[in-house]
A = this chain, B = another copy of it.
Amino acid sequence: MARPPRYDASRFLDAAVELAAAAGPSAISMAAVAKALGAPSGSVYHRFPARAALLAEVWLRTVENFQEGWFAALRMGDGDPRAAARAAAVHVVAWSRAHPREASLLLYGSAEFARDDWPEPAVRRAEEGHRRVGEAVAGLCAALGAEAGPAADRVTLAVIDMPLTIVRRHVRRGQELPAHAEELAGESALLLLGAGGQQERRSR
């Protein structure tokens, strides 16, 4: 009952990822995406009502893919919260190594992907992901120290921001990650969470 699609949405998104990895999110123009597939611009607009909608989808697909693995890594060390934290930190680096172009996107913020112009549903998806990460961090926080565990922002630093920053330096200049990057991330996360075990925190 209808002409079969020739370019589906995900192919446009793939092209957009490529463009952004090469020259930043601003290089994702509707014309450039179309040209990358040899498609007319109308076909892009047939899938995405506006540039902001395409940018939103590129960002959300990437971030949700990343978060999925991150949550899985956290659940891995299900008995030991310190092992879970280490696994999560290591995952950030390992995922970036496996998906260098997507990692490069992640290092830009959602703001660079025109978040201010996103359609409402996309904003909600982003907020939902953010909320789930926050919950996971809070849970980890609680599991780490029944009383006087490290503050939430310290945990966030250890299991997300710090590993991402290890990745940033290399990805931003198009270099491969050094072999020991995962180990550096995991070890640093443990250090930040409290050197030895639960009870002994440095004199504070």
Question: Which residues of A are at the interface with B, using a C-beta cutoff of 8 A?
Answer: 24, 26, 109, 111-112, 153-154, 156-157, 161-162, 164-166, 168-169, 172, 178, 184, 187-188, 191-192, 194-195, 201-204
Contacts and interface: CB of A to CB of B under 8 A. Distances in A.
A47 to B, nearest CB: 25
Given A165-B162, A201-B195, A203-B204, A184 B153 contact: yes
Copies of the protein in its oligomer: 2
A90 B156 CA distance: 19
7 contacts: A24-B112, A157-B162, A162-B165, A164-B165, A191-B195, A195-B195, A202-B204
B154 A184 contact: yes
Contact of A178 (B111, B153, B156, B168): B153
A188 B192 contact: yes
